[in-house]
Structure 1
Amino acid sequence: MKNIKKTVLALFLLSGMMASAQDTAYTNMLKVGVNGGISVPSENASSNLGLDLGYQHLVTPGFGLGIVTGYNQFFGKDNGGIKNNDFAVVPLAALFRYYPQTSGFYLGADLGYGFITGDKYVASNSPVERPSGGLYFKPEVGYHNINWNFALQYTKVFTGNEGNIGSQDYSVGALGLGIGYNLPLGK
């Protein structure tokens, strides 16, 4: 299993090196964006709205690495008598992007830790405390050009069994759309 993972990673990196993608004049960029979506699964939240901020360095013309953060507000919902509170996720994650061409289709993912903030309790009518965070994962697929990124993305923070109330699992996940603007910082 370890050899398969290493082989997949090596092929991914090699394809990034061989691809001709973004203009090499812009190897460093600041990425600013907005996102929104519906919570999936939707037991304790209905939707989300957020801001993204990241730095990306193009290691090769087709492969970018960087760091991202932001603020993602999840809106609580009533679920069978449980009055779930709003909460937010502040990620601190590594950014990975693969650009097969200068403009067009791209693949990406953010991987790191998602800090969960908000009310101390999961629901206003429950003494169960919300989790403080967990593994953050945000894969995305989209369209890009030198200035803009448009993506379909899935945001997930894995919290284990923390924050569960009875049969309601505490779920931090959303399927949504994101729009980002790239501010070139030069080479």
Structure 2
Amino acid sequence: MKRFYIPATLSVVIALIMSINVNAQSGKTEITRKNSWIKTGLNIGLPIAQLADQSNFTLGGEVKGQLMSTPNWGLGLASGYTHYFPKEGHENFGSIPAAVFARYYPARQGFFIGADLGYSFQTGSQLNGNGGMYARPQVGYHNRLWNIFGFYNGIFRKEADGSHIQYVGIGTTFNILFD
């Protein structure tokens, strides 16, 4: 089962990149000030599964570049940093994701659903820098300037590198518009 994560995630990433490339070549999506922007935000989370034994909570920041490829679909790149605040007897550590993301917006304002997929690099001595495949499905509310969402964050590592890193949380991002 664990061997499935890497090929599956890479397949999704390649498919997203190819779809962006196909749209760009066909002239359907031109990057303009009106259909692209930067999202910056903060999130907080509660560790679940084995991570709950090592960490009390998480606090992170994120930056995303988004292109609205159609009126309802946003695609982009995502990164940031999440710090895991340790329980007594454990060390500090963090994660730095490098991901692509897709979001579906049924309307100009209201509900949205999306996911980030990629790889997360780990920081901190107890993890020896070993990261893993990164998945972050989310659901939330959006308007022109703000996004508020709930999410599950999973970093799936090889068994030799230790347990998976999982938490649930809430976050908000502010859209920096160029128009």
TM-score by length of 1: 0.74
Larger Rg: 1
RMSD over aligned Cα atoms: 2.1
Alpha-carbon distance in 2 for matches of 1:39, 1:162 = 21
Name the structure 2 match of 1:167. none
Instruction: Name the structure 2 match of 1:76.
Output: 86
Equivalent position to 2:113, from 98, 107, 117: 107
User: For the structure 1 residues 108 and 87, does the alpha-carbon distance in structure 2 shift closer, same or farther, using more than 3 Å as the test?
Assistant: same
The unaligned stretches of length 5 or more in structure 2 are 1-11, 20-31
C-alpha separation in 2, matches of 1:160 and 1:145: 39
Q: Which runs of 4+ in 1 moved over 3 A?
A: none
Per-residue deviation at 1:86? 1.5
- Segments of 5+ residues of structure 1 without an aligned counterpart are 1-5, 14-23, 123-129, 165-169
Are 1:30 and 2:50 matched, yes or no?
Answer: no
Match of 2:48 in 1: 40
**1:152 equivalenced with 2:150 (yes/no):** yes
Corresponding residue number in structure 2 for 1:180 = 173
CA distance in 1: counterparts of 2:167 and 2:121, whole angstroms: 16
Q: Go from structure 1 to structure 2 and tell me whether the alpha carbon gap of 1:171 and 1:84 turns closer, same or farther (over 3 Å shift).
A: farther
Q: In 1, are the aligned partners of 2:54 and 2:86 still within 8 Å (CA)?
A: yes
Residue-pair matches, total: 149
Q: Going by fraction, where is helix more abundant, 1 or 2?
A: 2
TM-score computed with the length of structure 2 as normaliser: 0.77
